[in-house]
Amino acid sequence: MLSVKNLEVVYQDVILVLRGISFELNTGDIVSLLGSNGSGKTTALRAITGLLDVQNGDITKGSIHLDDNDITNAKPSDIVNLGIAQVLEGRRIFSELSVIENLKIGGFTSSSNTNKNTERVFELFPILKERSKKIAGYLSGGEQQMLAIGRALMSNPKYLLLDEPSLGLAPKLVDQIADLILEINSQGVSVLLVEQNANMALKISNHGYIMETGNIVMDNDSNKLLEDQDVKEFYLGINPEGNDRKSFRDVKHYKRKKRWLS
């Protein structure tokens, strides 16, 4: 189980991005983390995988545990070794290298199993096998996303953190990616899914958390979230039938900060 407790993250010593969030990813589950831009979803992932350093961020409070190990502030390479892999937002494949080389780099930490892992990735993404000698930068957006996920799977992770896998993809491809996430999950990989596409994320996940400006404002089972009036209106774009437009005050039952500039 991956559990985050009261996590607080500050960028450049002044910008408070996460204000004490807690969430859990049970083994075998798919958990989605939703929220608008700038709500701190990516920062939460970076905190887990130890990538905050690059962005000049620090964990100031709270802890992250993988089963019984405290992995707060652990080094990225150690975290990958413990079985957590992250697919970065915007794919971030090594565009000048070939597909197979990208996969090999993904398998850096478990190089003895490279062949076995490559076969597994090719089974999941047959298109990558076809393109294995091609330069990764020339793949289409959907193929690049598959490569990014495949690359993360090369370290044979127990926990897969996906940062917006649907970014910039056509609806049909989004469905395909969703199916693949379910397939990966069924092979025993727990998935933490960060998404803007709430519809897709809630449909495939067991549990959902909703973030707003560094706080988790709601969490519930995914099917209950799908039924929730506020989620429907704010994240799924469905208006309650027969009703006229509503005021924000009536629908939001949780605290909402006054924003002066909007």
Instruction: Summarize as ranges the residues that interact with another protein (CB under 8 A).
Output: 49-51, 54, 56, 75-77, 79-81, 85-86, 88, 92-97, 101, 104-106, 108-109, 111, 135, 137-140, 151-152, 155
Q: Which is nearer to another protein, 81 or 239 (CB)?
A: 81
CA distances to 87, 207, 241, 260 from 193, in Å: 10, 10, 30, 32
Looking at the DSSP bridge assignments, the partners of residue 160 are 85, 191
Nearer to another protein, 13 or 96 (CB): 96
CA angle 78, 82, 85 (to 5 degrees): 90
Asked whether the beta carbons of 106 and 120 are under 8 A apart, the reply is no
Which amino acid is located at 147 in the chain?
A: L
Residue 13 tokens, joined = 């010593």
Chain centre to alpha carbon of residue 179: 16
What are 3's two structure tokens? Answer: 């559990």
Q: Kindly state the smallest distance separating residue 117's Cβ from another protein, in Å.
A: 13
Contacts of 201 (CB under 8 A, 6+ apart): 32, 34, 193, 195, 208
Q: Which is nearer to another protein, 160 or 177 (CB)?
A: 160
Q: Cα(199)–Cα(236) distance, rounded to whole angstroms?
A: 6
The smaller minimum CB distance to another protein, of residues 151 and 207, is found at 151
Q: How far is the CB of 217 from another protein (least distance, A)?
A: 28
As measured in angstroms, the least distance from the Cβ of 219 to another protein is 26
Half-sphere exposure of 149 (CA within 13 A, CB side): 30
Q: Which is nearer to another protein, 109 or 185 (CB)?
A: 109
Q: Which is nearer to another protein, 93 or 169 (CB)?
A: 93
